[in-house]
Structure 1
């Protein structure tokens, strides 16, 4: 009764409420500390895992470097040479003349993956084959001969052991007269290549503006006019090529000395990469070459470059 009169009962209730609220806050503080402690522990675990994974990645990268380095480990070509004309024929004849026992000479046409047979016989030097690919590999079981040749017209991939190397001259030079055309944006030359000599047959030169002079036409108009000149030149070149391909020696009445190949002869178109697409339907093969000068000279230069053979000594 006295507590109620003096207001002490209300104060005691308030004290109890505050004490309970204090205990609640203490529990929340303890829970928050536990959460912070748990978060710190998880953060430490995550940092340790990151460090572990980074170490693992670094180790894997080092391993990859070592493994990829096997392709380039301490090996280099014994020598390289570009073979043309008589030198090309001489080297091919030497390789073709090699004679071993029934399974003493390995010949392999390699484009992408190095065959197991080549790896087995060359060991770590098979890395050189990958560098030289696409190439024709010639290796004998005694290790006396180990060479790779890059044929201008390579066959499908194969691997073959035999008593000699498999050398087909048609992979390196035409065995029959072949049409060869050089196409550039301002000139065209057509000839016949028999594997030794280029005989010019036709040529076209067009006046195509090379640069825009100040004044006069705008740059855009100049570009349109130049593109039109190139289109007209390429159309004339295409018509000339079609006209020659549509005739053979029998139709023209030519004699034995006429260079015109038969109607089914191969057609090779060489020249600027930007214009070759206009002739792919007429050609058996196309290739980009950098041949300049007068049409006949440029054609001979293009033939010389295309049928050059890279020799790599393994």
Structure 2
């Protein structure tokens, strides 16, 4: 009662209210401090993650740059020399490579089609990329680094890797080991012969005067094309008959041993008579065209690595 008379009761009530408000504010302040601490911690964690990501990005960028430089170096690699060789020169060059003699296990010969063998990678290092680029090819490398060549063969064997004292280059990989029947066919010429890997023997030939241009006047364009197509068809029939006659007269020859070369548009007419058909650019008179076709088909490419 005295407090009420003196007005202290109201003041005490205000003090209690203020203390409660203070306590509430202190709790808010503590909560705010906690949130601020959490925010600082989260910000620091985020900064650490950002730094880690930046380090990874820089590392990946450096790796990409190294790979790009490495790819550029590989792209800039080139063979030292490249030769297309045929005929007598083909034999001379290959005999020269075969003549190299090394110590035991000093000459590596490998037929590469897709994957470059580890033996070649170890010997050539970054230049093994050239082998990948040239494949399929036969690779000859000696352990002293004096010889390193890749040969694109006419009749490549299945992949292999072997070491020896000399390089292994089988004759049948570059030219026929036995005589083969070979023909060149174009829409107006045909020639047939027998090739034994060094000598070409002429058998027969056919030349047809095929209309090669349509002049104004006279035949209509459609009639001209029909006549020309008929002339080509007759020519191909004569060529087909000539091969059949040769095979009949030489019954020991299998159609799989016959090679027909020439224009891509006419080769389909000989699918039943030839084991191999290939497009070549041989032109001119039948005999010379046949010689050129044989030389082109059995040309090999030798590249020094």
Cα distance per residue 1:50-77 (max 9 Å; x no partner): xx9xx99x9698677545435324x221
Answering whether residue 164 of structure 2 is matched by residue 162 of structure 1, we say: yes
Per the alignment, residue 92 of structure 1 pairs with: 94
Per the alignment, residue 288 of structure 1 pairs with: 279
Per the alignment, residue 118 of structure 2 pairs with: 116
SS at match of 1:310: strand
Per the alignment, residue 74 of structure 2 pairs with: 71
Q: Within 1, Cα distance between the matches of 2:271 and 2:69?
A: 43
Answering whether residue 275 of structure 2 is matched by residue 273 of structure 1, we say: no
Per the alignment, residue 128 of structure 1 pairs with: 130
**Pair 1:109–1:216, CA change in 2 (3 A):** same
Per the alignment, residue 243 of structure 2 pairs with: 241
Q: Within 1, Cα distance between the matches of 2:269 and 2:158?
A: 26
Q: Within 2, Cα distance between the matches of 1:212 and 1:130?
A: 49
- Larger mean CA deviation between 140-149 and 81-90 belongs to 81-90
Per the alignment, residue 206 of structure 1 pairs with: 208
Any stretches of 5+ residues in structure 1 without a counterpart?
Answer: 1-51, 252-261
Answering whether residue 175 of structure 2 is matched by residue 173 of structure 1, we say: yes
**Pair 1:65–1:231, CA change in 2 (3 A):** farther
Residue 133 of structure 1 and its aligned partner are, at CA, apart by 2.3
Q: Within 2, Cα distance between the matches of 1:65 and 1:234?
A: 54
Q: Within 1, Cα distance between the matches of 2:287 and 2:300?
A: 22
What is the total number of aligned residue pairs between the two structures? 247
| Aligned pair partner of 2:293 in 271, 279, 302 | 302
Answering whether residue 253 of structure 2 is matched by residue 263 of structure 1, we say: yes
Cα distance per residue 1:128-165 (max 9 Å; x no partner): 22332221110111111000111112222222222221
SS at match of 1:72: helix
Per the alignment, residue 139 of structure 2 pairs with: 137
Q: TM-score, normalised by structure 1?
A: 0.72
Any stretches of 5+ residues in structure 2 without a counterpart?
Answer: 1-53
Q: Within 1, Cα distance between the matches of 2:265 and 2:104?
A: 49
Q: Within 2, Cα distance between the matches of 1:242 and 1:64?
A: 58
Per the alignment, residue 313 of structure 1 pairs with: 304
Q: Within 2, Cα distance between the matches of 1:93 and 1:211?
A: 49
SS at match of 1:269: strand
Q: TM-score, normalised by structure 2?
A: 0.74
Residue 117 of structure 1 and its aligned partner are, at CA, apart by 2.4
Q: Within 2, Cα distance between the matches of 1:282 and 1:123?
A: 46
Residue 268 of structure 1 and its aligned partner are, at CA, apart by 1.2
**Structure 1 residue ranges, 4+ long, deviating more than 3 angstroms after superposition:** 58-71
Per the alignment, residue 193 of structure 2 pairs with: 191
Cα distance per residue 1:211-270 (max 9 Å; x no partner): 11112222233223222221221111111101101222xx7xxxxxxxxxx424821111
